[in-house]
Structure formats: structure tokens, C-alpha cells
Amino acid sequence: MIWLYRILFLPALVVLLPYYALRMWRRGGYRHDFHHRFGLIDRPPPKRSGVKRIWIQAVSVGEAQAIGPLLARLRARPNTEIVLTTTTSTAYKILRDKYAADVLKVGIFPLDFWPFSRNAWRRLEPDLAVLMEAELWPEHLYQAQLRGVPVALINGRMSDRSFRRYQSAPGVARRLLGQLRMILCATSADEERFRALGADCSHVRLTGSLKFDAAAQLQKLSDGERAALREELGFGADPKTLVLLGSSTWAGEESLLLEIQQAAIDAGLDVRLLLVPRHAERRGEVMELLNKQPLPWHARSTGARQPQPVKIYLGDTTGELARLTQAADVAFIGKSMPPHDGGQTPIEAAALGVPLVYGPRMSNFRDVCRSLEQAGASWLGENETSVQMELMGMLQNSACRGKMGAAGRAWHAANEGATQRTAQALEELFN
């Protein structure tokens, strides 16, 4: 099977080259250390006797942020060194900024083609390879198998789309999953799906989502700091002013939130809109949208502080969502409205005590959202009309907002502990 994969990879790579070129053009940071994608990662210092080396692949921004508490636990283990890689340029910057001083090496994950993956494996020489969430790279797994290196999947997730795809090729699914020594699942539904696809039941266990513990590490603002942030955003100090957050929005969702803001204003509410798109490079598209509406707005990329009062603030920077979230009274979670699917994580906003609304397409967080709703910390909107009604209801009801915010904080506290369980499970692979 691996040779068939290698043969098919070549034409796929040729097809994807224009995509990579476009990404490099749109994201200046995408070119940084681009040679890593060919497996030409700078060699770390030689391996030392008695020291175990762990290679952790944190796919993108969410995983790069979630890995922090686990890294701290693993670094505390005697005679352990860690190599961190990621796939996206944004996550690569986060890893360099947050963890470079604490790990052996930070790099970019190679394209999953034979010579590129082999190059990286020869340079990094790990004793344990760790993948996150849903990444099953055939060549990467094969290189591990050749070297007798165990591979663990942590924070394991199986989305609806991936589950259907693997069900259509059960032989491929069993072969890939069979190369994993350990599958640590984020939710019970993920656990059931991995087992249904043929994973060895003795290798699959439920440890919970690392994102709960990562959210516990967020720097929470005091009341004074929160007021200062709202002033910085140009929202003023009036306690009657309400801030509606669009958290990690995708195309089309900003338009919906603009409509909701206008409806709230027409209803006599002083509602300010804080938009934080999932991808900062969409700023031009969102700015064009904002230029077509009459309310005053400001973009963070042109300067953080806005001295003039604004009705709409565009948070078009990277790595500031957790801080900006704390300026909000209510949040809408992005990538949850058709035609998008999957959703962005609601965990951080709930942990910060912000009431949540999202659309019907939160498939990647189905269990999380169900438990949030059961805890009374969020509302699911079935369509644009119901999303608007739910948000309007929250904006008009301070008691409801307070109750939901407290429920979100309590829900989050009850779900912590995945880091300890994951670290203990990985420890078994060293024994």
C-alpha cells in the first residue's frame, strides 16, 4: 500500500503546488523555513545516552496552543527532550514564540512524501512520535514502523467527514490505525468511532480534550483590565454598552453579525461588534464588507488603540483571541453556519465565562457542544433566524448572560484533567 501511496502522491503534489504558491504570496510568514517542508529541518544536537526524544506534531493554531500544559508535564520528566513541529505558518510562529526556549527544536512538519519524510526522520531521530487530533500520515507512520518507533495519537478526534471517508475504505483505515501504538481520545464519541474503524481496542482509551487544560492557563483579565481593553477598542466605559464577539468567523458570518448588530441598535441597544476572523489574511475581504456599511469601524492591524468611539472593531491579528474575548458580553462561534462545517472551538470562551451561541455546523465539537448546552452555557441556533433570535435574547437579558457565563466557567472546571491522563498514558510507551 505504501508504494501505491507514494506513486499517487507525486501527481497530487504537482496539483497542490499552485495552492502553496498562493499561500506563500498571501501569507508572508509561509515562506519562513519553507525548506523544512522537504524534510530539511536543521539538525538538533546529537542524541545523548539515556535521553528519550519525543517528536510532537501540533497541526495548527488550536493544537499549538493546546499543547502547552502537556509540554510542561513532559519536560518535567527526567531525561526527556522534545522536538515540536507544525503545519501552518501561523502555528509555527506561535511555537517559536512560546516554546522555542523550552524544547530541543521547533520546525515545520514535512510534506508526507517518501524522501521528505525520510529526511526529517533521519535528522530528528525520535524515540516516540506523537500526532494530534486526526492526523494520520501514511509515510510518516511507515517511517516510524521502519525504525521501530511507537506512534501515539493524542487528543484524538474523528469528524463526520473523516469517519465517512474511512468507512468507505475500511482496509486503509485498519492499516493506518494498526500502526498507532496508542489512541487517546478527546470524547467518548471519538473513542467509539476509532474502535468502529478497526483500531485495536486495547490501544484506544478516553483521556479527554487537552484544550480544557490549555484554557485553564489563559491569562484572565481583572475588572479594571477588562474595562481598559474595552476603552482601547474604542467601545467606551458606559456600563450599558454591550459587546458582541464574532469568534473565529468565516466568510458570510461577518455579514450575519452585522445584521444582528443593526437589529439590536434598532431595538434601542448600544451594541458594539468585535469581529475576529479565523484567518487574519481575510482582512481585505472583511474590510471591504465594513466599508459598505455606515457604522464607524477600526482595524487592529492599523494600530491597537482606537481613540475615537467605534461601533465595530476588526481584530485582524493573530494570537489575541483569548484576550479580546474578555471584552465581550456574548460570543458567536465561527465556522458553524452553512456552507461551512466543523466549527471553531467554544472551549476558551466558555472557560472565560462568555455566553455562547453557534450555528448547526459544529460537527467537530459535537460532544463538547452537547455538554455545554446541557450545562446551560450555550445555545444552538438551527439557522440564521434562530441565531439572531438567540443573540438578541441574550443581549436584552443581563441575568441570562450572567447565569450562562457562570455555567460556562463551572462546566470548564469540571472537565479539566486531560493533560495528566495523557502524560501518564504516554509514559507507558517509555517503559
Contact 191, 206 (CB under 8 A): yes
Backbone dihedral angles phi then psi of residue 391, each to the nearest 5 degrees: -65, -40
DSSP classification of residue 365 = G
- Amino acid in position 106: V
Residue 193 confidence (pLDDT): 96
Please list the active-site residues.
63
pLDDT of the residue at 25: 65
CB burial of 206-232 (b: ≥16 within 10 Å; e: otherwise) equals bbbbbbbbbbbeeeebeeeeebebbee
- State the angle between helix axes of 2-26 and 138-147 in degrees (0 to 180), rounded to the nearest 10: 120
Residue ranges of the chain with per-residue pLDDT less than 70: 20-21, 23-30, 307, 431
- Identity of the residue numbered 242: L
Residue 239, SS3 per DSSP: coil
Nearest to 408 by CA among 362, 359, 345, 360: 345
Neighbours of 16 (CB within 10 A): 13
The interaxial angle of helices 366-375 and 188-196, nearest 10 deg, is 150
Check if the beta carbon of residue 357 is closer than 8 Å to that of residue 392.
no
- Per-residue burial over 180-202, b = 16 or more CB atoms within 10 Å of its CB, e = otherwise: bbbbbbbbeebbebbbebbbeee
Amino acid, single-letter form, for residue 350: A
Burial class from Cβ neighbours inside 10 Å (0-12, 13-18, 19+) for residue 360 reads middle
Parallel, antiparallel or unpaired: strands 242-249 and 330-333:
parallel
One-letter identity of residue 68: G
How much of the chain is in helix, strand and coil states, percent to nearest 5?
A: 50, 15, 35
Dihedral of the CA atoms 316, 320, 325, 327 (nearest 10)? -80
122: CB partners within 8 A, 6+ apart: none
pLDDT tens, position by position, 303-351: 877 767 899 999 999 889 999 999 999 999 999 999 999 999 999 999 9
Question: What is the 3-class SS of 1-30, one letter each residue?
Answer: CHHHHHHHHHHHHHHHHHHHHHHHHHCHHH
336, 359 Cβ separation under 8 angstroms: yes
Q: Residue 308: its pLDDT value, please?
A: 77
**Cell numbers placing 174:** 485498519
Q: Is the dihedral of CA 205, 206, 210, 213 positive or negative?
A: negative
Partners of 153 in the β-ladder: 131, 183
| Of 220, 216, 248, the residue nearest 345 (C-alpha) | 248
